Amino acid sequence: MHVQRRVARIVLIGLLTLGLSACGGDASINMDGQTIRMHADRVSIRDRGGDTAEIEANGALRIAGKPVPLTPAQRVLTTRYFAQSQVALFDGKQTGWAGAHMAGSIVGSLFSALFHDDSRIINHTAHAQTANLDRHVDRLCSAIGAIRATQDQLVARLPAFAPYAAIDQRSVKSCFVNAHASNS
């Protein structure tokens, strides 16, 4: 029962992530009324008031539709923010595919277990697939943590970006905690 509950949670996380990635090249992270939307060519961050900041692949920044002049150091940070969001987008898709693969493997092992009358087959498959999915989730949470670190550096150098600092330490920590709570 313990393994089945854990498997159900992780498969759900994976399938939800896959659903996001299957909706096109975009994905979003929602945190406390703020949304970070990752596109192939830009990242959009909507603050709690509904205003949007956009960071383009080349590091250009727009706040409320207006270009923001950047120093070279600030542009390095906006470019890094964009690149890290692309890593998170990729890791999210990989996590989704790992979740879908896990679901398929477990369904296959269920039939095998029924055919061979051996429930250990399901447990073995579930444990192996859970370990693989855990690695993907950890990478995704780490990617979100990297965005947060860059976001905080950007806020320190460009206070106008502060309203768009959507990721806090609590969000990063809860990403890891919630992912690993599925294993207990």
Contact 15, 99 (CB under 8 A): yes
- Between strands 27-31 and 34-38, the pairing is antiparallel
Rg of the chain, C-alpha, whole Å: 19
Give the residue carrying structure tokens 């975009």.
Answer: 26
d(CA 158, CA 18): 34
> Residue 25: is its pLDDT beyond 70?
no
Q: How confident is the model at residue 18 (pLDDT cuts 50, 70, 90)?
A: very low
Top pLDDT among 68 and 128 is at 68
The whole-model pTM stands at 0.72
Return phi, psi of residue 133, to 5°.
Answer: -65, -40
Residue 67, strand partner residues: 62
> Residue 20: is its pLDDT beyond 70?
no
Q: How confident is the model at residue 15 (pLDDT cuts 50, 70, 90)?
A: very low
Every domain of the chain and the residues it spans: 2-25+71-181
d(CA 167, CA 30): 9
Query: Which residues lie below 8 Å from residue 105, measured CB to CB, with a gap of 6+?
Result: 125, 129
Note the residue count of the chain: 184
**pLDDT of 91:** 77
**Whole-Å CA distances, 103 to 9, 59, 73, 178:** 11, 39, 45, 19
Determine the number of helices (DSSP H) and then strands (DSSP E) in the chain. 4, 6
Q: How confident is the model at residue 39 (pLDDT cuts 50, 70, 90)?
A: confident
Q: How confident is the model at residue 74 (pLDDT cuts 50, 70, 90)?
A: very high
**pLDDT of 83:** 95
- Between strands 52-56 and 61-63, the pairing is antiparallel
